[in-house]
Amino acid sequence: MRGQRTAAWSPAAGLLAITVGVLIASNHVATAQTLGSLETPATPLVLKAQGSFFIGGERVEQTRTEVGDLGPEGHITIHQMYVRYMVPQDENGRLPVVMVHGATLTGKSWETTPDGRMGWDEYFVRRGHPVYAPDQVGRGRSGFNQAVFNNVRAGSVPAASQAPWLRFSDESVWPNFRFGPKTGEAYPDTQFPVSAAGELAKQAVPDMSFGMPQPNPTLRALSDLATQLQGAVLMGHSQSGRFPLDAALLNPGAARGLVLVEPGACPATYTAEQIATLATVPILIVFGDHRDTPTGLPTLPSWQDRFEACQALIGRLTAAGGRAEMFDPPARGIRGNSHMIMQDRNHLQIADVILQWIDERVGRRPAGTN
C-alpha cells in the first residue's frame, strides 16, 4: 500500500532548484517543505464520498462593535464544529473513525505528515474505515467567538477579560513532545521525522481553550457526530485524549470504541456510575516512548505520570467488567515513538495495531445495517 516517494504532480528535475531559489529570499523564512517531498501512493485512493460539514453551533446576537464594526450588529453563529470526511468505496460495515487533534493543533494533525508521508486519515480510509476529522470548536475552520476581543479593543471591558491564546514554542515542543531533551537534540532512536520539525511548527494555531465555555462544546459535538453516524470509534490525541471518554458519557450507545492516543489526562475523578458506563465500551490507550523526558512545563504532569494515571483508569474499568487496554509500544520492543505518534516514521505500524484492535474488539456493523 505504501508508494514510492515522488511528487503528486510528477515534478520535472528543475523543481527543487526553483523551490530553493524562492525560499532563500528571506532569512526569516521558516525551513520549508518542498512540494516534491509529498509522497504519491502507489495505488489510487477510491472514495465513495468526501467533503465537509458542521456539527452544532449556537446563533447569538452581537453588537456592531463585537462583529468588528464594518457591518451592522446582528446574529452570528459560534461554537460549531467543522468536520472533514472521506468514505472509502468499500467500507463493508467497518465503523467510521472520528479523529480529534490536540492542543494548539487542528485536524491537520491526521493529514500528510510533516515530511510528506500519508496521514492516518487516508491510511484508515484505505483500510476501509470512513474517517471524520474535525477542528475542535474554537480553532481552525471551526472559528471562535471574537466578541470579547473586540470589546476589549473598544475599551468597554478590561483587557483581562480576554483569555490568553496558547502556543507552544519550539523550545517546549521538543521535550514535551519527546523528540529529544531539548530543541534540535533528538533521541538517537526517535521515530519522529525531526528534520521536518519546522513543518510541524506550521501546523500550530493559537488555542483558545482557556476562553471556551464549559463544558467544551466539542464534547457535545463529538457525541452528536457519533450519534448521527449511528455509531463510531472516537479517537482523541493529547489535549483531546480524554474527549472520547467524556463524549461517550453523553451517549454511550453511539461510542462503539474509544482510542486515546497519548492522552493529556486519564481522570481519576470519574464516579463509579461513570466508570460503569465507560466499562460498556471497548477502550484502547496508546502511549509513545521516552515518557520520563523532563517536559520543561513544571505546572503540568509528566508523561510518565499521565501513563500511570491511565493505567489506574484501566484498572478501575477492568474491575467494573470493562474492556480497556494499554498499547505500550516499548513493552512490545517498538522504541522511540514520540507524542506525535501519528506522524512518526513508523506511524503505519502503530496504526496497524489500532486497526487490528478495532477489528477484534469493536468489530463491524451487523450485516444488513449501515
Interaction residues for a copy of itself, span 167-186 (CB under 8 A): 167-172, 176, 183
Q: Decide if residue 45 touches a copy of itself (CB under 8 A).
A: yes
Q: Are 368 and 355 in contact (CB under 8 A)?
A: no
DSSP 121-162: HHHHHHTT--EEEEPPTTSGGG----HHHHHHHHTSS-GGGS
Of 4, 17, 72, 272, which lies in the binding site for a copy of itself, with binding defined by CB under 8 A?
A: 72
For a copy of itself, the binding residue among 124, 129, 130, 218 (CB under 8 A) is: 130
Q: What residues contact 150, with CB distance under 8 A and at least 6 apart?
A: 65, 66, 67, 68, 69
Residue 99: CB atoms within 10 A of its CB come to 26
Q: d(Cα 242, Cα 219) in Å, to the nearest integer?
A: 10
Q: Find the shortest distance in angstroms from Cβ 361 to a copy of itself.
A: 21
CB neighbour burial string for 130-166, b if at least 16 within 10 angstroms, e if fewer: bbbbbbbbbbbebbbbbbebbbeeeeeeeeeebeeeb
Q: With CB under 8 A as the rule, give the number of residues binding a copy of itself.
A: 117
Residues 151 to 170 in contact with a copy of itself, rule: CB under 8 A:
152-155, 159-160, 162-170
| Range 268-283 burial, b when 16+ CB lie within 10 A, else e | eebeeebbebbbebbb
Which range binds a copy of itself by CB under 8 A, 33-41, 261-269, 276-284, 323-331?
Answer: 33-41
Toward a copy of itself, which CB reaches closer, 206 or 321? 206
Q: What is the DSSP string of 225-271?
A: HHHHTTSEEEEEEGGGGGHHHHHHHH-TTTEEEEEEES-S---S---
Task: Count Cβ atoms below 10 Å from residue 168 Cβ, excluding itself.
Answer: 17
201 binds a copy of itself (CB under 8 A): yes
Q: Which is nearer to a copy of itself, 164 or 321 (CB)?
A: 164
Answer for which of 1, 60, 312, 319 binds a copy of itself (CB under 8 A) is: 60
Q: Residue 212: how many CB atoms within 10 A of its CB? A: 19
User: Is 299 among the residues that bind a copy of itself (CB under 8 A)?
Assistant: yes
Give the one residue of 224, 301, 330, 345 binding a copy of itself; rule: CB under 8 A: 224
Of the listed pieces 143-151, 270-278, 282-290, 313-321, which binds a copy of itself according to CB under 8 A? Answer: 143-151
Q: Which has the closest alpha carbon to 147: 221, 210, 211? A: 211
Segment 241 to 270, residues that bind a copy of itself, using CB under 8 A:
none
Q: Is 136 in the site for a copy of itself (CB under 8 A)?
A: no
Q: Does the protein bind a copy of itself through residue 364 (CB under 8 A)?
A: no
Residue 302, interface with a copy of itself (CB under 8 A)? Answer: no
Among 195, 228, 349, 356, binds a copy of itself (CB under 8 A): 228
- Candidates 183, 217, 213, 219; CA nearest to 200 is 183
| Shortest Å, Cβ 320 to a copy of itself | 28
- Beta carbons of 144 and 78 less than 8 angstroms apart: yes
- Judged by CB under 8 A, the residue of 5, 58, 292, 361 near a copy of itself is 58
Reading across the β-sheet that carries 232-237, which strands appear in turn? 74-88, 131-134, 97-100, 232-237, 255-261, 283-286, 324-327
Report if residue 74 touches a copy of itself, rule: CB under 8 A. Answer: yes
Q: Which residues share a beta bridge with 257?
A: 233
Cβ distance to a copy of itself smaller for residue 134 or 336: 134
Least gap, CB of 322 to a copy of itself (angstroms): 26
C-alpha cell at 176: 514535551
Indicate the residue among 1 and 45 with the shorter CB distance to a copy of itself.
Answer: 45
Site residues for a copy of itself, 95-124, by CB under 8 A, read 96, 106-108, 111-112, 116, 118-119, 122
Task: By CB under 8 A, name the one of 24, 29, 312, 319 that touches a copy of itself.
Answer: 29
134 binds a copy of itself (CB under 8 A): no
Q: Is residue 280 near a copy of itself by the rule CB under 8 A?
A: no
Helix (H, G, I), strand (E, B) or coil at 282: coil
